[in-house]
Homo-oligomer: A and B are copies of this chain.
Amino acid sequence: MESITIKDIARALNLSTSTVSRALRDSYEINPETKRMVMDYAEKVNYRPNPIALSLKENRSQSIGVIVPEIANFYFSQAINGIEAAAYERGYHVVIFQSQESYERELEKVEYLTARRVDGLLMSLSSQTIDISHLKSLQERGMPLVFFDRIPTEIDTHKVVVDNHQGAYQATAHLLATGRRRIAHITSQPGLSITKERLSGYLAALEEYGVPFDENLVKYCSYTAEEVEVNLDSLFALPVPPDAFLTGADRLALGYFAGLKKRGIQIPETVAFVGFSNLNVAELLNPPMSAVVQPAFQMGQTAAGLLLDLIEKKPKHPVFQTVQLSTELFVRESSMQQ
Contacts and interface: CB of A to CB of B under 8 A. Distances in A.
Nearest to A59: B1
5 contacts: A50-B56, A50-B115, A72-B78, A73-B77, A77-B77
A71 B71 contact: yes
Contact of A286 (B74, B258, B286): B286
Given A53-B56, A111-B48, A281-B254, A117 B72 contact: no
Interface in A246-286: 254-255, 257-258, 261, 277, 280-281, 283-286
A174 interface: no
A52 interface: yes
Interface string A51-77: 111011001010000000011111001
Contacts of A318: none
A37 to B, nearest CB: 23
Interface pairs A-B: 5 shortest CB-CB? A72-B77, A286-B286, A96-B96, A71-B77, A52-B55
Taking residues whose C-beta sits less than 8 angstroms from the other chain, chain A's interface range is 35 or more
Given A1-B117, A1-B143, A81 B72 contact: yes
A114 interface: yes
Q: How many copies does the complex hold?
A: 2
Contact of A95 (B50, B84, B95, B117): B95
A96 to B, nearest CB: 5
B77 A141 contact: no
B115 A51 contact: yes
A32 interface: no
Interface in A3-60: 3, 48-53, 55-56, 59
A112 interface: yes
Given A48-B111, A285-B285, 8 more contacts: A52-B61, A52-B117, A53-B56, A72-B80, A74-B74, A96-B96, A254-B281, A286-B286
A83 to B, nearest CB: 10
A3, A48, A116, A117 pick with most chain B CB within 10 angstroms: A116
Interface string A103-137: 00000000110111100000000000000000000
A180 interface: no
A253 to B, nearest CB: 10
Contact of A2 (B84, B112, B141, B281): B141
